[in-house]
Chain A
Amino acid sequence: MRLKKQVQFDKNNMILKLGNHEKKINPEDDFIIQALQNHVTDDARFLRLVMTKEQSDEIEAGFRMAAFVEEYGEFLKEEPAGTISYHKE
């Protein structure tokens, strides 16, 4: 998972910008945005981050990340379906 190239992150105001479109980042999502900014792309790492930060299990972390994608999806790069691997390894 990664942000689109054209996305700008206004750290001071905690806003994501893409062209004319802006979105305020919810405080609870800040750590995920920071991870994206730090070029974390691996799904498993995101899940571990959430599990540590929120003291949740993998299932809850999965829901959490899906909710994040739903919320900020327009700023995220669409990935080809061939890369998908959603089963627990």
Chain B
Amino acid sequence: MDYIKLPAVIEKLKSAESKFLPVWISAPTGYGKTSAIKDYYAFKSMLCISGKNGMLDQRPEFSKIRQSVVFVDDVSFVADQNSQRYILSLLNQKNFQTILAGRGKFPEWLEDIALQIDFVFISEQEFLFHETQMIELFEHHGIFLEKEKMEQLTRWTQGYPIASLFYLKHILNGEAFSLALVEKVWDDVFRFWDRNIFELYDSELWNLMLALAPYPYFSEDFAASVTGVSVVQEWFLYLQKTGQYLFRNENAVWKFRPEIEKFLCWKRKMVYSEEKQKENYHRAAYWYEQHDRISEALEYYRLAGAEEQMTQLLIRNAANHPGTGHYYDTRKYYEALPEQTILENPVLISGMSLLCSLMLNPQDSEKWYQELKAFAENPKNPKPKRKEARNKLAYLDIALPHRAGKGIIKIFTNTFRMVKAGEIRLQEFSVTSNIPAIMNGGLDFCVWSKNDTAIARFLGHPLEIVLGKHGKGLVDIALSESLFEKGMTNPYEIVTRLNNGIADASNGGKMEMIFAATALLVKQHLLQGQYPTAKRRIDMFQQKITEENASQLIPNFQAFCTWFALYTNDKKIIQNYLESAPDEKKNFYVLDRYRYMIKIRCLIAENHLADALDLACFLTGYFNSYQRTYMMIENNILKAVILYRMENESWRSVLTEALQKAEEFHFVRVFSLEGTAVLPLLMHLEKTDISEEFLKAIMNEAKKMALAYPDYLNYVTKPDIYFTDRETQVLSLLCQGLSMQEICNECGISYDGLKKHNRNIYQKLGAKNRAEAERKVLQLGIIHRKGGEL
């Protein structure tokens, strides 16, 4: 078969030839190194020497070499010192050009000479097939495929020449061009590698590679533990040297090349028995467990079918991570356990009850709760386990989200009595669920806001006793939150109280409390127009998160920072947030509720009103059934804003509902913080039963916020701009990032024609150039960023 020429390779060989420089070619097997050299030097005499077996297969005297080119292949394998010396001497000869080829990195023993002699380096990237080479290859065999198929083919083969050849073989055999062929082709490639690469390797090395195949990353310690091989580092360096099959990052963690990883997994399926696979996974799981990497340990115990170890690990993990977050992370493993296994352990039963509640399944949560109760009451169960069950029941009575904290004071009273009597031990738990709020934190305590000072006076000290370090600063911060929301207390008192709370929490308390207090301080500063002070608070807290390694706060802190960025309409932060925000359509998890509320605001700011409304409506059901009063009010306000912008009159009833509920508690700030977004609605709202004093309080503050932060949720009325059909099409393609030529091709118009349309578009938008036009259409909400659709 004719060789498909690669321009980059040809150019470098020409340059090396004209300057009589040696060449070093590095690429793994199947990239066509040898074919490239033989094709280029077809009309020259060439001596070929191989180093495949660790030493050169011939070392003729230089004076007897008559050829004009000496090509030494498989230099990476040359370990014999005489052979290495021979190559070094070759490079100093003037009678012929020297071409060296290897599969791995530039050999260390050549580095000194590379300082004295200029080499021309050709890397594997230059051997990859692009579309042009693919077209040439196929057309040479009489196969003509559409441009789109050639693009697909280039993607599927990743430009790997040998894969392209295998693909061609299948097409020539009459097989249809399809995605199903991809697997067949890669099977061919793997068989090729099996025959041509790995047959050269020592069996210990082979075993090492197969044992590590399924693991995306591994340290040398991990590798030694899983494989039982002690000299792993030497083998890893050997693999790098002879084929660049392994990479190491700055953390001294190794990784196979992706295609090699796939090959090894393919080979492993053929040579490993099921028992051997499980044993391998078990070793890996044990290593991860010893290194406290619970998620990985659980996953590999699961793959090893080691149910007992998985169970014990889940139990230990639940004890070591008292917050609810870890249940979501490990839910797959809870769900994988047989029901009987769960029913034998109160920690697992409790975990299931909590998990179901967190996943919006209160019925199953209560079912598991009843199982736990039955376990505690069953005299046949061992005493220690029954006590554990009672501990867990006390915890669930407080913590189950769907119970919404009903009768929580009585629950606390009973819990305290039982703790005092030594009947139970209450586990640690987070009051805020890592949300920057307490009254609207783990549970909704809006009802306490009606008598906040009296409840705080009586409850403060007892709560601090029951909650331990989770209670430090709690009462000051929770009371501040209630007073802040009502908007009737002197800011000085609120700021003083919050700082007291922070001081308490900083002294042996929890970061979650400081987060809640910081958020309130930021809101207070924003209300007073003190944006820089608010920003400094956030920066200080960010530093504290890093110092205290409070990684559990990061997702909600990121959401909080995004909320703050909305006040200056920082598009970059808003768009980044939307790309990483949780997706309620995949899995809904109640602990993400704060992040969802920020997501709604970002969607509004980006004018994705339909998506924002979808999410707000979805959350309504959850807020209702879990009695999240505050978030229900907040959600209704945002829904009203969305409906108003959609010119849907339902906004009035939705906003009125929010006002009526908020009035019960005199919650002013939940409205006024929405400033410029909610102000037009308040101004257009007709007379309602809402008290004038309450409405006036909201309006006054909303006006101040609107003046101070006019870009909040960035509502810009759509101007009357009319584009023709062609202009609409061109504008859409411009925003998708197509080049001018591509747009001409797509629209079937000339370059001059396109220029004319562009001129009209810019003029209508008042833009000077393409970049400005794109910005304007986004700002005006004429176009969405993703997909560039109008």
A contacts, CB < 8 Å to B: 1, 43, 47, 57-60, 62-67, 69-70, 73-74, 76, 78-88
B contacts, CB < 8 Å to A: 409-410, 412-413, 416-417, 420, 447-448, 450-462, 465-466, 475, 479, 483, 489, 493, 497
Q: Which residues of A contact B410 (CB under 8 A)?
A: 63, 67
Once the chains bind, are B454 and A63 in contact (CB under 8 Å)? no
A46 to chain B, nearest CB (A): 8
Assuming the contacts A63-B409, A86-B460, A87-B461, asked whether A69 and B489 have C-beta atoms less than 8 A apart, the reply is: no
User: Would you call the interface of chain B mostly helix, strand, loop, or mixed?
Assistant: helix
Nearest A residue (CB) for B447:
A70
B496 to chain A, nearest CB (A): 10
Once the chains bind, are B451 and A62 in contact (CB under 8 Å)? no
Q: Which residues of B contact A62 (CB under 8 A)?
A: 458-462
Known: A81-B489, A84-B457. 13 other contacts (CB 8 A): A43-B457, A57-B420, A59-B465, A63-B416, A70-B409, A70-B451, A73-B450, A73-B455, A79-B453, A84-B456, A85-B457, A86-B461, A87-B461
Once the chains bind, are A79 and B454 in contact (CB under 8 Å)? yes
26 A-B residue contacts at CB 8 Å?
Answer: A43-B457, A43-B458, A59-B416, A59-B461, A60-B413, A60-B416, A62-B459, A62-B461, A63-B413, A63-B458, A63-B459, A69-B451, A69-B458, A70-B455, A73-B451, A74-B450, A78-B451, A78-B454, A80-B453, A81-B479, A84-B457, A84-B479, A86-B460, A86-B461, A86-B475, A87-B460
Q: Which residues of B contact A57 (CB under 8 A)?
A: 420
Q: Which residues of B contact A59 (CB under 8 A)?
A: 416, 461-462, 465-466
Q: Which residues of B contact A63 (CB under 8 A)?
A: 409-410, 412-413, 416, 458-459, 462
Once the chains bind, are B458 and A83 in contact (CB under 8 Å)? no
Most chain B beta-carbon contacts within 10 A, residue among A47, A58, A65:
A65
B699 to chain A, nearest CB (A): 23
Point out the residue from A60, A64, A67, A81 that lies within 8 Å of B453, measured CB to CB: A81
Once the chains bind, are A81 and B483 in contact (CB under 8 Å)? yes
B85 to chain A, nearest CB (A): 84
Q: What is the CA–CA distance of A74 and B417 in the complex, to the nearest angstrom? A: 28
Once the chains bind, are A76 and B457 in contact (CB under 8 Å)? no
A59 to chain B, nearest CB (A): 4
Q: Which residues of A contact B454 (CB under 8 A)?
A: 1, 69, 73, 76, 78-79
B485 to chain A, nearest CB (A): 13
B264 to chain A, nearest CB (A): 62
Q: Which residues of B contact A1 (CB under 8 A)?
A: 454, 457
Point out the residue from B413, B450, B453, B462 that lies within 8 Å of A84, measured CB to CB: B453
Q: What is the CA–CA distance of A83 and B453 in the complex, to the nearest angstrom? A: 8
Nearest B residue (CB) for A80:
B453
A23 to chain B, nearest CB (A): 14
